[in-house]
Amino acid sequence: MSHLLAPLCLLPPSLDTAWSGVAPPDKSHAIPRHNDTAIRLQLPLVWFDPPWHRLALGTADALACAVAGLGITVSALHRDVAAAGQQSRFFDGGAARVEQDQHISRAPRMLPYRPERYGLSVEDFDECQIIDVRLGVSRDRSGGFVFSQVQIQRWEATADGAPLAGGGTVPAATFPPDVMSLDQLGSKILQLRKLAPAAAIFVSVGPFRVADEIRRLLASRTKDKRSLPDGLVVRLDQAALTPLQLAEQTQSIRASVDAVGETELPLCIVPGEVTADDAAKLVALGADSVAVDSWCDELVDELCYPSDSMAAAFGYPQHGVVISSDEQSDRLAGWVRDALSPQIERFTGLCLSLSPDPRDCLGTFDALWAKALGVKMLGAGSMKVTI
Amino acid sequence: MSAPETAAEEAAEFYLSMADLTEQEIRETIAEIPAAAADATWPQVHVSGANGQHAAFMRMDYNVTLHVEGDLGDYAFAYNTKVDARLSGSAGHGVGEGMRSGSIRVRQNAGCGAGAAMVGGTLAVYGSAGPRCGAAMRGGGIFVRGDVGDETGVGAIGGMIVIGGDAGRNLGDAMNNVNVFIRGRATSLAPGVTEAPLRKREQLRLGLLLINASIRGDSSEFRRVVPIAMLEAEESRRGEVNPNWR
């Protein structure tokens, strides 16, 4: 995968900087909450929208455990990884206690609170670190605003002979049906705080009307602080942005959030396909955390037979690899560690170099990027400007 | 809490006030109530002082009958299991969201999204309900004695909605495997749903449900609105031929 944000450089210190040791690697990511408490996550990385329905239940559960075990916050409903009434290692914390540190003791889990709430069970609220109120309608792989039959069957299993919607797709919702308008979302946030007192409440929006939506979500500072979200997720992956647009949007969204006085509000960017270098640069541009679905979805692809493969054509099990024992789960965890660790280490290392102010660490050799992002123009070309 | 007036053959009664106790204290008190014998009437818990509190009495999982005096705000009784809840006034938006079992009776009106994403149990509203009543419901039954707003049943994929009055626009949009019974008129039906004959068996079932929900009326006064795909599947299972083909 090529680096989308290659024209942007993460700058080393200037030559006259005094020699200083690198600070101890505190990689954890703190999410401040309304009541002056904070939720600490091991890494500012999220697997935002995993395609769990493509995997067998046991495999999905083992993969969620393995990815969360590396410190990436994983979004899942219980029904995504286990049948109703069945146990899940991911939800029961069996394998995914990520660190011995008592402040970071649970598998980092995000509860996707979609407008339709298909598949949601009340136990999903227990011990999740983040509830993400997903506003806006979702497209499936076909491009429609629908859930596929395989997806809906995962959430709302029906008898084989009586599939929902006659085996077709099910329309996705645009907005929570029990909220009157965006301006009244605060009441829903208060409800979720009560259902999951220890969780941070995030709200995710698409990129298309993001400035207006941020203003409406956050601008009312006279509101009860508890009715405002603890964080914001922007799904830039919903639009086909150029790399420069991705960088510009990340920067502008951070500026919009800062402009309404919420300078400490965590901003999570869902950028689509990115490398570890890109993810670190998004942090430098103002994101507090980054969705790395492209890293983790590759693992799902490996575990499934591709839909155009001969195996699929001959009717072999659609879900591909089936994990059904602890021993297999442990081996899968090792495979996941081998696959993701290099990217996580690269991202972590680059982020450690972004101090003291990440925004001062950016520069570019490209005049267009320098002008668009207001970052330093680098190299000999910069001399022409100053002479 | 006043002392329980327990008699061997009568349900224990408890009196609590939201003005004197926090909701957490009320919950703890209810949790301490000994469970009734399997065949006995459930303990009766009377709660006063409700005046529009939001997110009240959510995720309760007790074998009690809860009588709440007054109005409650948004998301009252959400995600409840077992509890038989009765509210003397009105409820805000999302009453009974995600409820799993038990029952909720709202004597007056409910806001938007009543019974949204409910999975089981019964929600009865004796006044009227706002828009998107029963949205995304996955099971259970909703009974509204009065009118319902626009887009009732939107995205519902299981269960039943009974409307004693009229419905607003777009009744049954994106609805699957759901029966809607309506006594009045709908401003418009959504594409993909249709009126269907109310068969004898459904009349009997509806009559029984009306009695259970204490809603007056004869089931024969209701018409049935269902997704076209569901109706076709029913007819195909029965081997019926649509006589309107010509």
Cβ separation of B93 and A122 shorter than 8 Å?
no
Amino acid at A205: V
Contact A115 B73 (CB under 8 A): no
Contacts of B74 in chain A (CB under 8 A): 178, 187-188, 191
pLDDT tens for chain A, 387 residues long, are: 789 999 999 988 878 777 776 665 566 778 888 777 888 888 999 999 999 998 999 999 999 999 999 999 999 999 999 998 899 999 987 544 444 444 445 689 999 999 999 999 999 999 999 999 999 887 887 888 889 888 888 998 776 666 676 667 888 888 999 999 988 899 999 999 999 999 999 999 999 999 999 988 887 655 678 889 999 999 999 999 999 999 999 999 999 999 988 888 999 999 999 999 999 999 999 999 999 999 999 999 888 866 566 666 666 656 677 887 888 889 999 999 999 999 999 999 999 888 777 777 899 999 999 999 999 898 876 655 544
Contact B54 A187 (CB under 8 A): yes
Q: What is the pLDDT of residues B150-194, one digit of tens each?
A: 999 999 999 999 999 999 999 999 998 899 999 999 999 999 999
Q: How is the beta sheet containing B84-87 ordered, strand by strand?
A: B13-17, B44-53, B65-72, B84-87, B103-106, B122-125, B138-144, B158-163, B179-182, B223-227, B193-196
Task: Report the residue of chain B nearest A191, measured CA to CA.
Answer: B55
| Phi (first) and psi of residue A102, to 5 degrees | -65, -20
Per CB-CB distance under 8 Å, the chain B contacts of A170 are 155, 157, 174, 176
Binary contact (B100, A122; C-beta < 8 A): yes
Q: For chains A and B, what is the number of CB pairs under 8 angstroms?
A: 100
Residue B93 neighbours by CB distance under 10 Å: 28
Distance CA B180, CA B153 (A): 8
Of the candidates B104, B89, B107, the residue with the CA atom closest to the CA atom of residue B52: B89
CA distance B113 to chain A (A): 4
pLDDT score for B203: 87
Q: How many angstroms away from the CA of B95 is the closest CA of chain A? A: 9
Inter-CA distances, A260 with A295, B83, B242, Å: 33, 43, 61
The CA-based angle A29-A332-A291, given to 5 degrees, is 30
Query: Does residue A188 belong to the interface with chain B, where contact is any CB pair within 8 Å?
Result: yes
| CA A163 from centroid of its chain's CA atoms | 31
Do the chains contact at B177 and A188, CB–CB below 8 Å? no
Res A92: pLDDT: 85
> If interface means Cβ-Cβ distance under 8 Å, which residues of chain B face chain A?
54-55, 58-59, 73-75, 78-79, 81, 92-94, 97-98, 100, 111-114, 116-117, 132, 135-136, 138, 151, 154-155, 157-158, 174, 176-177, 229, 233
- In B13-81, the DSSP E strands lie at 13-17, 44-53, 65-72
Q: Give the CA count within 13 Å in the CB-facing half-sphere of A383.
A: 2
Give the ipTM. 0.90
- pLDDT per residue of chain B (246 residues) written in tens, 0 to 9: 554 444 445 778 999 999 999 999 999 999 999 887 777 889 999 999 999 999 999 999 999 999 999 999 999 999 999 999 999 999 999 999 999 999 999 999 999 999 999 999 999 999 999 999 999 999 999 999 999 999 999 999 999 999 999 999 999 999 988 999 999 999 999 999 999 988 888 888 888 888 877 777 788 899 999 999 888 887 877 765 555 443
> How far A342 CA lies from chain B's nearest CA (Å)?
42
Dihedral sign, Cα of residue A28, residue A32, residue A33, residue A38:
positive
Q: Which pLDDT score, from 0 to 100, does residue A161 have? A: 64
8 Å CB contact of B229 and A116: no
**pLDDT score at A156:** 86
